[in-house]
Amino acid sequence: MSLKSITNSILVAACICGKDGVISQMEEEKMFQLAVEEFPGYQFEEFQAVIDEFFDSSKQIEEYLEAIRDPTSRKFTLKLAKESASVDGLDARENIALQKAYLIWEVTPNE
């Protein structure tokens, strides 16, 4: 995956994790862990810049989802979002946002 792909995936995950009103430290740690597993050269400073970008943005989830077209990147993004949002308990609003991503990308949660 490219750096831009990781960035877009993290933005989607942050959007989903933030639907309950906060992105917890556990969610951030999980996002970073999974990003490094997928992209071993990824640095914490790059991750923090993406999180800052998310908080400075007014984009909606649909706009973030639109930026990811590659099926492999989409699969990783859904995994990233689901695992990160679930690490501290999947809030109903986070789950709704996650389900919206599945619907927009026309995939089932088990794929």
User: What pLDDT, on the 0 to 100 scale, is given for residue 1?
Assistant: 67
Share above pLDDT 90 across residues of the chain, in percent, rounded to a whole number: 86
pLDDT tens-digit series, residues 20-65: 989 999 999 999 999 999 999 999 999 999 999 999 999 999 999 9
Model confidence, pTM: 0.93
Q: Is 48 helix (H, G, I), strand (E, B) or coil?
A: helix
On the question of pLDDT at 109 being above 80, the answer is no
Q: What is the dihedral of CA 62, 66, 67, 69, to 10 degrees?
A: 140
Share above pLDDT 70 across residues of the chain, in percent, rounded to a whole number: 97
Considering only CA atoms, which of 74, 101, 89, 79 is closest in space to residue 27? 89
On the question of pLDDT at 111 being above 90, the answer is no
Domain boundaries, the chain: 3-104
- The DSSP H or E segment spanning 77 is helix 71-86
